Amino acid sequence: MSDLYLKFVNTPVGKTAAQSLGLPSPIPLKRLKRTDQPFIEGDVLVGAADGARAIATVGATLGASAATLHHASGPDTLADSAKAGNKAKALEITGDINQKFSALVFDATGIKTPEGLRALYDFFHPTIKKLAVNGRVLVIGMDPASCRKAPQAAAQQALEGFVRAVGKEIGKKGATANLIRMAPGAEEQLDSSVRFFLSVRSAYVDGQVVRIGKSTEAPATNPVAPLTGKVALVTGASRGIGEAIARTLARDGATVIGLDIPPAMEDLQKVTDSIKGKALACDITDESAPKLIADFAEEHFGGIDLVIHNAGITRDKTLGNMPEHFWDMAIAVNLSAEEHIDEELMKRALLRQNGRIVCISSISGIAGNFGQTNYSTAKAGVIGYVESMAKQLKNGITINAIAPGFIETQMTAAMPITIREAGRRMNSLSQGGQPVDVAEAIAWYCSPASSGVNGNVVRVCGQSLIGK
Ligand code: NAD
């Protein structure tokens, strides 16, 4: 699906026209070109408030990148991590800094009072204008729920407002701002999330907050193909977001079972053939579907590692005009089928240790949407399901959700033009996302190194103005 306006405003004539008419001027987002591409390049500035807990591990992650590292000032931990080989050079933070930074990374885990928030201003005020096009702001804080004292909880919660507001200011550069919230003792689990949020893989993930908990699983050893040896089920894989998920997980080394309804078989077969996967014809709302899927996974692979509940439908009508089968179908495809499939896989112990379940919600499930009472209900239910299951799953299995905003697919191409244009532009990046943006976020959830990422709902929406 093509966004002609985005192309037009990035021509010299279009740029001038947009500026003189006060129209949005979205910047094309950089996305992954090669899997062995370093997760970040260029100059990266790292800072930390006193008492920072994450800086040593973040320093080590950055030290393994292709970036030139600078540290603003620092607690001893930063100096230690620099000694450990991360090349960080001290940089005095003044308004006269002359380089452009591909990322500004700040460890705010040590902030314990509202007064301590001044450290954010001191770090970002002189540097934010030096953030490069397509740059990244990443703040690391503590989970406020883990803070025993109210002023600390307040200060840590405050980081969310800061990051969301920064995201809105830097979106015009095609740059993003996100917050990682760490549970006490989860330092070793930060690596995969720091890499994701700093890389071009998170191009359309903006203004998000992700919680990282403690876990015991060892991180991945193969950064280019972290899913080698894993078997993934992707529902609705014949086109759109599902196709991108199937291709991305296969790129990362997984063997993919692509599933779709029988009429979509020709398209599905093309997708699965091209990634050496297997195609499964199945309507997930059929009563026999959970058993069919479980039998297929057992027979061909002896089990399954990654379950991606992507299949979804809309059946829009205002509530008073909605036929009952619209309601029933939207709930069945978008919500109940996922539960029934997971139940069967668990009952038969087919979901293997350190497995991953990923569900697709929607910003409609967060904010509600006109004419979508059925869809919004189902997609909000998905969030409730994920949050509840996250507390129950064992054996290192995690469950998370993605809530896409406006993604360029056949689903959104079918919208009336005015609604489509509004959906595309009403976000900090002034453009729609690509299916691969959702797929990259799912690949991050699925990585063995993301074992501490559990029970999250991350929006892939360019920081949509709709919803929180
Ligand atoms: P799409 O309509 O292009 O693809 C959905 C796929 O699901 C299709 O291949 C379809 O055949 C399959 N499917 C539908 N019902 C099924 C069933 N009963 N059994 C098996 N397969 C079935 O949609 P998309 O835009 O790629 O959306 C993918 C997911 O993302 C959906 O869950 C959707 O609700 C969600 N989403 C999309 C957007 C967006 O902007 N495109 C926004 C928010 C959420």
Work out the pLDDT band at 84, boundaries 50, 70, 90: very low
Q: Whose CA is nearest to atom 44 of ligand 1?
A: 362
**Distance from the alpha carbon of residue 7 to the mean position of ligand 1, in angstroms:** 26
Residue with tokens 């499964």: 280
Q: Dig out the tokens for 394 from the structure.
A: 């064992």
Structure-token match 């086109």, residue found:
239
Question: Does residue 76 have a pLDDT over 60?
Answer: no
- Between 374 and 56, the higher pLDDT residue: 374
Q: What is the pLDDT of residue 222?
A: 82
Whether 239 is in the pocket of ligand 1, judged by its Cβ within 6 Å, is yes
Task: Map tokens 């950055």 to a residue.
Answer: 62
Residues 6+ positions from 447 with CB-CB distance below 8 Å = 192, 220, 226, 227, 252
The answer to whether residue 241 scores a pLDDT higher than 50 is: yes
Same fold, 31-212 and 231-460: yes
CA of 312 to the centre of ligand 1 (A): 4
Residue type (1 letter), 142 = M
- d(Cα 389, Cα 351) in Å, to the nearest integer? 14
What atom of ligand 1 comes closest to residue 241's alpha carbon?
Answer: 26
- Ligand 1 centroid to 237 CA: how many Å? 9
- Give the per-residue pLDDT at 408: 95
Catalytic-residue membership of 204: no
Q: Which residue has the higher pLDDT, 78 or 177?
A: 177
Cross-sheet strand order for the sheet of 398-404: 278-281, 255-260, 231-235, 304-309, 351-360, 398-404, 457-460
- The rounded distance, in Å, linking the Cα atoms of 208 and 178 is 5
The closest-lying atom of ligand 1 relative to the alpha carbon of residue 406 is 40
Q: Determine the average pLDDT of the residues in 67-78.
A: 71
- CA–CA dist 31, 359 (Å, integer): 23
CA 415/CA 313 separation, integer angstroms:
14
Cβ within 8 Å of residue 266, ≥6 positions away: none
Q: Has residue 181 got a pLDDT over 50?
A: yes
**Partners of 457 in beta bridges:** 401
Residue 348 makes CB contacts below 8 A (sequence gap 6+) with 294, 298
> What's the pLDDT score for residue 202?
98
Q: Which of ligand 1's atoms lies nearest the C-alpha of 432?
A: 40
The rounded distance, in Å, linking the Cα atoms of 454 and 214 is 10
Helical (H) or strand (E) element with 356? strand 351-360
Q: Rounded distance, CA 206 to CA 367, Å?
A: 17
- Spatial contact of 23 and 193, defined as CB atoms under 8 Å apart: no
**Cα–Cα dist 308/275, whole Å:** 17
Question: Which residue in 5, 375, 385, 445 is the catalytic one?
Answer: 375
Look at ligand 1, atom 17, and give the residue with the nearest C-alpha: 283
Residue 4 has pLDDT above 50, yes or no: yes
Query: Which of 156-170, 215-229, 314-328, 389-403 has the lowest average pLDDT?
Result: 215-229
For ligand 1, mutation pick of 247, 280, 287, 409 (most atoms within 8 Å of CB): 409
Find the 310 Cα to ligand 1 centroid distance in Å: 6
What was the ipTM of the complex prediction? 0.99
Q: Which CATH superfamily is domain 31-212 in?
A: NAD(P)-binding Rossmann-like Domain (3.40.50.720)
Q: Which fold has domain 231-460?
A: Rossmann fold (3.40.50)
Residue ranges per structural domain of the chain: 1-30, 31-212, 231-460
